[in-house]
Amino acid sequence: MPTHSLLAVHAHPDDETISMGGTLARYSRAGHRVTVVTCTGGEHGEIVVPEMATPENHARLAEIRAGELARALVRLGPVGSRMLGYTDSGMMGTPQNELAGSFWTADLDEAAGRLVRIVRELRPQVIASYNAFGGYGHPDHIRAAQIAVLAFERAGDPAWYPEQIAGGLRPWQPLKRYETVMDISRREEIAEVMRERGVRTWLTPPDDEPEEERLAREGLLAQMAAATGPKTTQVEVAPFIEAKLAALREHVTQIAEQTWFLALTPDEWRHWQPTEDYTLGESRVAPVRIPESDLFAGLPPED
């Protein structure tokens, strides 16, 4: 079977599985070359397991999450892994945003250069990341989306980062760039199931939710919807739901069994999200036939 290559650019360990774990499983298990780039160590994430939320574990959370990432990728398939090397920026407006070494304060050209180096080394045909809002406004997701766009535009141009060319890397132009689609159109339906099961999520706010919090939540949902592109590409992932859920469970510090990700059964996931959806952001392939059911649609096989 002809093989292709995919580079998935994500902000923190666990994002790869949440947003496109089924896609990673589908393509890697079919023999395609799949690599995940994780931009930060996720140092400032919460630890959702109370008995694990010790000062010692918070101090070494990047190390813990790196282990979770490695185990999750094994669950998905033969998926490669690269770390971009930045520190988690925390949520927008928090003190972590301004810390030296955080992804949010990083020089954008330098950060894009790190990703360009990986692109030139691995030579993927397809790059996938988030939309310009980062899906839900997290600064590290926004940065990941920005450098994915820049790497797509610059990796094939020898005028960018000439020191990499001098060091032996060749320019490489990926052929397609995708943005993940976070579909919240069925949130009320899923929220009702969560309420029946007593599962609290951002989808199921309490009845006495303060007005300020309600307005902030609704404002965020509106921003998310406005930033979401059209579903140009829907990848069938129903056969890989169990693998995706197994990978989610490896991210122990971040994803509790009581979250809606794990509260839904495999059959319910197959009902509500049998596909993982994408917007085709850029293409160097002509003609492009929309809608697609394959990120590799229209691509020649790898050399």
- Return the percentage of the chain with pLDDT > 90, whole number: 70
Query: Which residue intervals of 15-103 are DSSP H helices?
Result: 15-29, 55-59, 61-76
pLDDT for position 83: 98
| pLDDT score of 133 | 86
Written as six digits, the tokens of 293 are 């059911």
Which pair of tokens denotes residue 138? 């997290």
Query: What is the CATH topology of the domain spanning 5-183+229-283?
Result: Rossmann fold (3.40.50)
Question: What pLDDT is stored for residue 204 in this prediction?
Answer: 66
Helices 15-29 and 241-250: crossing angle, nearest 10°? 140
pTM for the whole thing?
0.94
- Which residues, in sequence order, are CB contacts of 300 under 8 Å at separation 6+? 2
Domain ranges of the chain: 5-183+229-283, 185-227
pLDDT tens-digit readout, 231-273: 999 999 999 999 999 999 999 999 988 777 888 899 999 998 9
- pLDDT per residue as tens digits for the range 88-125: 987 777 777 777 778 999 999 999 999 999 999 999 99
At residue 184, the pLDDT reads 66
Structure tokens at 57: 């574990």
Count of helices and strands (H, E) across the chain: 11, 7
DSSP assignment of 223-274, as one string? HHHHH-----EEEE-GGGHHHHHHHHHH-TTT--TTSHHHHS-HHHHHHH-S
Would you say 247 and 72 are in contact if contact means Cβ atoms under 8 Å apart? yes
pLDDT at 81 over 70: yes
One-letter identity of residue 110: E
Cα 151 to the chain's mean position, in Å? Answer: 16
